[in-house]
Amino acid sequence: MASSLGWRSFALFHVNHCGVFLKAVRSNGLSLFPWGHSPWRGTGSFLDPEMKAFLEENTEVTSSGSLTPEIQLRLLTPRCKFWWQKADLWPYSEPYWAIYWPGGQALSRYLLDNPDVVKGKSVLDLGSGCGATAIAAKMSGASRILANDIDPIAGMAIILNCELNQLNPFPILTKNILDLEQEKWDLVVLGDMFYDEDLADSLHQWLKNCFWTHRTQVLIGDPGRPQFSGHSIQHQLHKVVEYSLPEPTRRENNGLTTSTVWDFQP
Ligand SMILES: C[S@@+](CC[C@H](N)C(=O)[O-])C[C@H]1O[C@@H](n2cnc3c(N)ncnc32)[C@H](O)[C@@H]1O
């Protein structure tokens, strides 16, 4: 399995461990959350208090250094102790949700600048991570949102991030949606999800099905990762917009300089 996410200055995790972790989670795909295996609906008050305290203690609220300064997020930053500690001291699965990835940044910027793309529409944010793109969709007037991530801790982080932005949390699904019967969505957004070859293949199949069955619009944000640029999906993409990444994001992402939003049209 080849995974191209560069943790680089993110001192916690070595890049080679990422794919192994994801494969393990994908194989069971079940939520460890108290609200189980169906989309969560409710308010943040149902958050496990211990986990909430852990997340609050070990992340920093920030809105700087990304393409969307209007969205506040709890992220792992150099001011957090785990930024500097050894990976194996982190007690949970690898915190992809604690980084705001360049692909998600581009998508969120695009949705905030072009609310007509989501206004009144149903939107699935697949691989939501910190939830920023789902939050951008909500801010731009989407009528229905589902944030999906196989990491149950991402689900908690998304709830906290909704609250930070004065939004009622939207439904969150921590099951592997690729294994479920496909629902109809007006729009599916995927930020930085093509970082692993096996995952890229599965997503491609799933998205083709989504497009042909429901005529769903699919927008993909990607900063030019090899698993995306070298994938056969390239023949079915139309460039929507390319953003220059802010300096802090460049530093955290091995010198990637731009991130692009693509429209998938098989
Ligand atoms: C690189 S992060 C991107 C997060 C976010 N979209 C962003 O751009 O900031 C990839 C995320 O996809 C999630 N993920 C991986 N495989 C998945 C799958 N099959 N279904 C849903 N989420 C998945 C991971 O847990 C992780 O949070």
Beta carbons within 10 angstroms of residue 218's beta carbon: 24
- Domain membership of residue 109 (yes or no) is yes
Amino acid at 41: R
DSSP conformation letters of 123-180: EEEET-TT-HHHHHHHHTT-SEEEEE-S-HHHHHHHHHHHHHTT-PPPPEE-S-GGGS
Distance 28 CA to ligand 1 centre (A): 15
Question: pLDDT in tens for each of the 266 residues of the chain?
Answer: 344 454 433 333 323 233 222 222 222 222 223 233 334 433 344 688 999 999 999 999 999 999 999 999 999 999 999 988 877 888 888 899 999 999 999 999 999 999 999 999 999 999 999 999 999 999 999 999 999 999 999 999 999 999 999 999 999 999 999 999 999 999 999 999 999 999 999 999 999 999 999 999 999 999 999 999 999 999 999 999 999 999 999 998 988 999 999 999 99
Instruction: With beta carbons less than 8 A apart as the criterion, state whether 15 and 6 touch.
Output: yes
Distance 142 CA to ligand 1 centre (A): 21
Reported pTM: 0.87
For 174, half-sphere exposure in the C-beta direction (CA atoms, 13 angstrom radius) is: 23
CATH number of residue 242's parent domain: 3.40.50.150
Domain count, the chain: 1
- Domain membership of residue 112 (yes or no) is yes
Domain range enclosing 89: 49-264
- Domain membership of residue 60 (yes or no) is yes
- Domain membership of residue 29 (yes or no) is no
- Domain membership of residue 31 (yes or no) is no
Length of the chain: 266
Residue to mutate, 67, 92, 128, ligand 1, most ligand atoms under 8 Å from C-beta: 128
- Domain membership of residue 35 (yes or no) is no
- Domain membership of residue 196 (yes or no) is yes
